[in-house]
Structure 1
Amino acid sequence: MEYSCIGLNDLPDEILMIIFKKLNNLDVLYSLQGVNQRLNQIIHDPIFTSRLTFVKWFSHNFIDLIFCDTILNRFCLQILPEIRHKIQWLDLESSSMKYILCAAHYPNLYGLGLYNISEESARYLFTDEILSSGIFKNQITTLFIIIHNNNNNDDYDEMLLSTRNIFDYICTVFTNLIHLTFYESSYKNRLSLYFADPPSRTFRSATLLKLNVRIQSFDDCLYHLDGRFNQLHTLYVDLTSIPRPHHIQNQGELPNLKCFSLSCNEETHHYGELIPPLLYRMSNLEELEDIQHTFIDFPNNEIISYVDYFPEEERGRCHIYSYPSFMPYYGDITNNFPGGLFNYVRVVSLCDEYPFEHGFFLRIVQSFPFMEELTVINRKGQTDKQSYESNNDDRISSVIEYSFLSELDLLNVHDDYIEEFLFDTKTYFQNNVLLRIKCESLQRVTHNFTRDTTRMNCAKINELELSGEPICSDSLQEYFPYARISYPLII
């Protein structure tokens, strides 16, 4: 029997669609556009053309998928003009966004994602007369802005000002905007939007219905609700802190607001005087997230709350959140943590007056599978440590893998928790981890940098931030062969 050679064009349309759906839309268009009329008809389906994403999240930043001029030119000169009327949404990186937007007239474009935007790139784009008077003004109703943060603390105030200027550009240029998401690129740096007192006159919109924004303080939250966005029905606010507001009055009805989310990674002592008065203004609220009030009246929300009491400190604390939660952090977790799956959380802190056993850390990893930063605060030693170490089967089967962990803070812990993370019989994590720890604790647990059980995980540390009396020993660097060692911490 002779073997036949089957080409791509011999496959039925249904099979080709299945294959192409597994590929990136850009790869499909770049590779197959113009091959023949049949393939053109298939790849011009809205599945491949309605939304084109030219960026990818990689290692705490967004990268441009158009990595050479040849690819950019082919898209701008051939592909985009051919499918321009089918494109409804573009996700673009700052280095190529203007070329792509100017490559064709997109009559049905309504959504735009702009990534790694700086004030300079925003000014360069938003002052383009053709774009500003056409697509931006008349067509774009949904806008995602992800700001570039250079993580230079010396320029922090300047970056805050740049962020505010970008927001002013948006309010001025996108006059038909309905939905705006405005964030900086990394949750770690927590660069937030803040406003002068009072904000500029351009800080307003008569069309905006939905806003998702990270802001500096409760004052800035109230600015958003003082009438500048009088049509707003959905507001998601992530606060850096919740201090008492200085000048803004928390009063006036907000009849249009139907959905409200307020999150903050810091504690507040002003909940009673700030939060309930704000909620009382929302007379027509239908959906409430992240704050517990009389939640029984809000349908389709699972509100979770639990109370911790710390007898040594003689204080209590209440955790309140809606589930599922979309916050990027979850702080001050104790043994009372009820569990759940939190795919959006990246920053976790654990703190208790009762021991954290090995099984507790397994629950934490299962609940926060994409956790990148972890802080542990616990001075009480583990109680099941001996039984765990004596049972070889348990040790083999319960090594916990922290797949995405990149920062680990063990400054305020009993030595048992340092062993919990540095013993290769208990913990496995990837390379390139930043570890914060006390010098004397590290020396004890590693047996002055000679212990074999901790050697493997210590070799995965690429940054070691130590506190305490500097260690004068060549063994330290040998034990952490790939780590940059510093002493920035004073405890």
Structure 2
Amino acid sequence: MNQHNVHLLDLPNEILFLILRKLNNVDVLYSLMDINNQRLDSIAQDQIFTNILNLAPILQSTDGISSSILDRFCVDILPRIHKNVKSLTAESDSMECILGAGNYPNLTELKLLNFNQAIVPRYFMDDSLFGHNHKQQITDIILISDENTIEITREEYTQNVYAIILAFFENLKHLSIVMSSNGNYPRWIHTHPCLSLYESLPTTFFSSTLTKLCVNVTGLDDIYVLLDGRLEQLTIFTVQIEFISYRISTSYNTDNLPNLKCFSLTCYSVIGDYDITILPLLRRMSHLEELALFLNISGGSTFISGTHLDNEILIHMRQLHTFTFYIEAVHGIADPGVRISADDIKRTFTNIKYSQVACMVDYVDPQSMMYRVFSLPTKFNRLEQVTNNIPNIVFNSVTHLKLRDENAFKHEFFVRVARAFPFLKNLSISNIRPPFWRFNEHYLRDKDWCSIIEYSHLICLDVRGANFYYLEHFLNETKTHLPCLAKLNVDYDDLQVVTENFTRDEMRRNCGRVKRLIVQHPIVYPENVYRYFPLLQDDILHIINSEELIIHRDKQKLKIGDEVSWSGKSRNERGRGKVIALGTQEQCWAIKNVIEETSSTSKCLSKVESKSAAKQLPTVDSSPMSSVLRRIRSSMHSAEDEMSNPTTMANSKPDAPSRLISIPSSASSIIFTSPSRFTILKKLGEAHMVKDSECSSDTSSEAVLVIDEEANADNTDDLQTNTKVHSATSKGKK
């Protein structure tokens, strides 16, 4: 065979299989099926490429290409290969199309991305098409939840989601319901719908077949409940817990757990002595083969050393062969003259089960020290309160990092950070002291750096709590290269200074990729800001019915500042955000009209106009949007006059929007800030605007203009909502 004239079809099947197995199965199917070549068509349908399908990557884009790919799979490809599919991964929004393409008689594993509670009645019920065909067939369910701000009590979510799923699939062996990796601790852990079983009946979450469980729970009580015998076959248990208090609330079954072989516990807030909360639990697991502990301990008198772990935990686990851990704790100093070093702590880890161990020690103040001890290679994904004291190791698993120190961070330190955290995505800096802050050291400032640092994966940078020097350091392309920076959390005045009022050329490269600019007090950005940040996005406004809201705790009460979610059949129809106001249909439409009217000119407002508007701001509003607010109030009063006139009301019905509405930057000030999108609620009778904005790094939040026709106008902080309103929505509903 001529080496220089070999074509793909000249290769034997064995070689073709070796080549194609290096590709994604979905790519192979899409590229080789139905291309008028019987040989390639037959190869693509082999079980190697059809047993496991991951359709999620091609569906995560919202453009027309992904839609056409999905259509082709559902119409041409899946009907021919559905009998071979054993494992399927897909976006929740595409499930109806995918499941309708075949019967999938051999499907045993299902993984859904962007899962939400609306999926349960649609697919996990007896009368659903999927449920009828697969309730006895499915053995593995992995659900990646996107409901990180779901506004429903955890007890209700447990009953309506967790318990139903476990009871419905009769032969379920593996259940995982976890938060998307896009979630951001600590915010998400307090809002994610965790499993809550405290004081529940033994039959609430019961299974005689489940062997693997991965969930998030509210408290230590929930772990004890799960291990009280209701999951008798459980062998692998991975759990993340919101907090662990001083002791459990009641007494539980403390019998040994002979079937449990693998246990992983993550808790970022262990309060008090862990030896009276966690140790008794671990001592029940004498048959463990794998153990993972990721703990952040506050308070308590126990010093966590290798000797302590040996004597208190590992001695009870004779079959243990793998121990992965990260333990962070603050410990009081009995004798200020005795300083414990990282090497001192490492020397206590002599057991071969530890493999390699690393340690970090920082003296917070004269009375206390903070130490971190962890196994290598690292498995944890976030690290907080990190000082200049970074060990010479690589943290490949860490994607979220928070730096904080009383001593200044210098360029050399950030070089070490880039090397130590090669996959860093989120970086927060808290340090008010710049390098060379003394008068006689200023000449060293420009000599501090000699190489350009690159953070190849950094998406979000938060320097609001830092000296403006660090902002300059990261945005200046002669010092730092940020090819993926999309979100910048910053003090606006500092940003003006370091960019020389958005004219400094050496910062345009890093700023040019930013899509989200988060400032403490939203303002009317001048035109040059948009030129400096050409990808800066406007925010999106929805209009929905209050009956679609999922309200936190008491569904009959809604108050300013509440986080809300609203339901929908698809991801684009669902959303979440924060409440700042509440009102009638006409009032909300008046707000929308003013915002739309303002959007065409907002980007052309000058800096002088922005400052002038801020100076004229009424005290109650604390916003630079005085002129816009006055127009809103005027529209509100006009709407109220129309509402009081039955004739006018009969002849004036607002048209429903046909698309999402862009909120201009000039309207940002009337919004209770949520990370990338916003919620606007209008209070009945007058415009009540929240004074200060709150920001978050969660990029998945959405915006909503919620309409409630029967809001209680008597109490600003405790509003009654009527779930039977008939308001207009962004989907055209009236």
Q: Are the structure 2 counterparts of residues 203 and 333 from structure 1 closer, same or farther at C-alpha, using a change threshold of 3 Å?
A: same
Larger strand share, 1 or 2: 1
Match for 1:390 among 435, 447, 451?
447
Match of 2:698 in 1: none
Match of 2:585 in 1: none
Match of 1:477 in 2: 529
Contact 2:154 2:195 in 1 (8 A): no
Match of 2:57 in 1: 56
Match of 2:717 in 1: none
Residue 329 (structure 1) shift: 1.9
Match of 1:238 in 2: 240
Contact 1:219 1:245 in 2 (8 A): no
Residue 388 (structure 1) shift: 7.1
Output the amino acid matched with 1:178.
Answer: K
- Structure 1 residue 124 corresponds to structure 2 residue 122: yes
Q: Are the structure 2 counterparts of residues 222 and 382 from structure 1 closer, same or farther at C-alpha, using a change threshold of 3 Å?
A: farther
Output the amino acid matched with 2:224.
Answer: L
> Pairwise mapping of residues 61-460 of structure 1 onto structure 2 (< 5 A)?
67-68=66-67, 71-72=70-71, 75-76=73-74, 79-129=77-127, 131-137=130-136, 139-149=137-147, 153=149, 155-157=150-152, 161-162=156-157, 165-185=160-180, 186-188=182-184, 189-190=188-189, 191-195=192-196, 197-199=198-200, 201-244=203-246, 247-249=249-251, 252-253=254-255, 254-266=257-269, 268-291=271-294, 293-294=309-310, 298-301=320-323, 302=355, 304=357, 306-312=359-365, 314-382=367-435, 389-390=446-447, 395=450, 398-430=451-483, 433-439=486-492, 441-442=494-495, 445-446=498-499, 452-454=505-507, 456-460=509-513
Match of 1:26 in 2: 26
Output the amino acid matched with 1:276.
Answer: L
Output the amino acid matched with 1:408.
Answer: L
Q: Are the structure 2 counterparts of residues 313 and 439 from structure 1 closer, same or farther at C-alpha, using a change threshold of 3 Å?
A: farther
| Counterpart secondary structure, 2:93 | coil
For residues 416 and 10 of structure 2, the distance between their equivalents in structure 1, rounded to whole angstroms, comes to 51
Output the amino acid matched with 1:136.
Answer: K
For residues 532 and 242 of structure 2, the distance between their equivalents in structure 1, rounded to whole angstroms, comes to 35
Output the amino acid matched with 1:237.
Answer: V
What are the superposed Cα offsets for residues 220-277 of structure 1, whole Å, 9 maximum, x if unpaired? 3333223222222222222333334663446613332222212234464453432222
TM-score (norm 2): 0.57
Contact 1:433 1:461 in 2 (8 A): yes
Output the amino acid matched with 2:27.
Answer: D
For residues 28 and 370 of structure 1, the distance between their equivalents in structure 2, rounded to whole angstroms, comes to 29
Residue 125 (structure 1) shift: 0.8
For residues 327 and 236 of structure 1, the distance between their equivalents in structure 2, rounded to whole angstroms, comes to 14
Q: Are the structure 2 counterparts of residues 145 and 160 from structure 1 closer, same or farther at C-alpha, using a change threshold of 3 Å?
A: farther
Residue 441 (structure 1) shift: 4.5
Counting matched residue pairs gives: 476
Residue 29 (structure 1) shift: 2.2
Contact 2:363 2:369 in 1 (8 A): yes
| Counterpart secondary structure, 2:90 | strand
Contact 2:28 2:44 in 1 (8 A): yes
For residues 411 and 76 of structure 1, the distance between their equivalents in structure 2, rounded to whole angstroms, comes to 48
Match of 1:488 in 2: 693
Contact 2:162 2:195 in 1 (8 A): no
Comparing 6-15 and 43-52, the one that deviates more = 6-15
For residues 407 and 226 of structure 2, the distance between their equivalents in structure 1, rounded to whole angstroms, comes to 42
What are the superposed Cα offsets for residues 460-479 of structure 1, whole Å, 9 maximum, x if unpaired? 443333348x8899598368
| Counterpart secondary structure, 1:290 | strand
Higher relative contact order (CA 8 A, sep 6+): 2
Alpha-carbon RMSD: 3.9
Q: Are the structure 2 counterparts of residues 209 and 303 from structure 1 closer, same or farther at C-alpha, using a change threshold of 3 Å?
A: farther
Output the amino acid matched with 1:187.
Answer: G
TM-score (norm 1): 0.81
Residue 436 (structure 1) shift: 2.6
| Counterpart secondary structure, 1:421 | helix
What are the superposed Cα offsets for residues 425-448 of structure 1, whole Å, 9 maximum, x if unpaired? 221213653333345544554556
For residues 113 and 385 of structure 1, the distance between their equivalents in structure 2, rounded to whole angstroms, comes to 57
For residues 380 and 531 of structure 2, the distance between their equivalents in structure 1, rounded to whole angstroms, comes to 37
Contact 1:432 1:463 in 2 (8 A): no
TM superposition outliers: structure 1 runs of 4+ over 6 Å: 4-7, 61-66, 470-473
Match of 1:17 in 2: 17
For residues 163 and 69 of structure 1, the distance between their equivalents in structure 2, rounded to whole angstroms, comes to 37
Q: Are the structure 2 counterparts of residues 121 and 64 from structure 1 closer, same or farther at C-alpha, using a change threshold of 3 Å?
A: farther
Residue 113 (structure 1) shift: 0.9
| Counterpart secondary structure, 2:282 | helix
For residues 90 and 460 of structure 2, the distance between their equivalents in structure 1, rounded to whole angstroms, comes to 29
For residues 133 and 531 of structure 2, the distance between their equivalents in structure 1, rounded to whole angstroms, comes to 61
Output the amino acid matched with 1:24.
Answer: N
| Counterpart secondary structure, 1:96 | helix
For residues 172 and 63 of structure 2, the distance between their equivalents in structure 1, rounded to whole angstroms, comes to 25
For residues 128 and 352 of structure 1, the distance between their equivalents in structure 2, rounded to whole angstroms, comes to 57
For residues 484 and 398 of structure 2, the distance between their equivalents in structure 1, rounded to whole angstroms, comes to 21
For residues 184 and 147 of structure 1, the distance between their equivalents in structure 2, rounded to whole angstroms, comes to 5
Output the amino acid matched with 1:54.
Answer: L
For residues 452 and 438 of structure 1, the distance between their equivalents in structure 2, rounded to whole angstroms, comes to 20
For residues 479 and 66 of structure 1, the distance between their equivalents in structure 2, rounded to whole angstroms, comes to 30
Comparing 429-438 and 251-260, the one that deviates more = 429-438
Identity %: 34
| Counterpart secondary structure, 2:264 | strand
Contact 1:430 1:460 in 2 (8 A): yes
What are the superposed Cα offsets for residues 170-229 of structure 1, whole Å, 9 maximum, x if unpaired? 211122222222113332244241325423633122222222223333333333223222
Contact 1:180 1:212 in 2 (8 A): yes
Residue 158 (structure 1) shift: 6.2
Q: Are the structure 2 counterparts of residues 385 and 274 from structure 1 closer, same or farther at C-alpha, using a change threshold of 3 Å?
A: farther
Q: Are the structure 2 counterparts of residues 362 and 248 from structure 1 closer, same or farther at C-alpha, using a change threshold of 3 Å?
A: farther
Q: Are the structure 2 counterparts of residues 362 and 219 from structure 1 closer, same or farther at C-alpha, using a change threshold of 3 Å?
A: farther
Contact 1:310 1:353 in 2 (8 A): no
- Which has the higher Rg, Structure 1 or Structure 2? 2
Q: Are the structure 2 counterparts of residues 187 and 12 from structure 1 closer, same or farther at C-alpha, using a change threshold of 3 Å?
A: same
Output the amino acid matched with 2:56.
Answer: V
Contact 1:49 1:83 in 2 (8 A): yes
Contact 1:458 1:479 in 2 (8 A): no
For residues 116 and 36 of structure 1, the distance between their equivalents in structure 2, rounded to whole angstroms, comes to 37
- Unaligned 5+ residue runs, structure 1? none
Contact 2:79 2:101 in 1 (8 A): yes
Q: Are the structure 2 counterparts of residues 24 and 288 from structure 1 closer, same or farther at C-alpha, using a change threshold of 3 Å?
A: closer
Contact 2:289 2:322 in 1 (8 A): no
For residues 209 and 494 of structure 2, the distance between their equivalents in structure 1, rounded to whole angstroms, comes to 57
Contact 2:464 2:490 in 1 (8 A): yes
Output the amino acid matched with 1:167.
Answer: Y
For residues 428 and 69 of structure 2, the distance between their equivalents in structure 1, rounded to whole angstroms, comes to 46
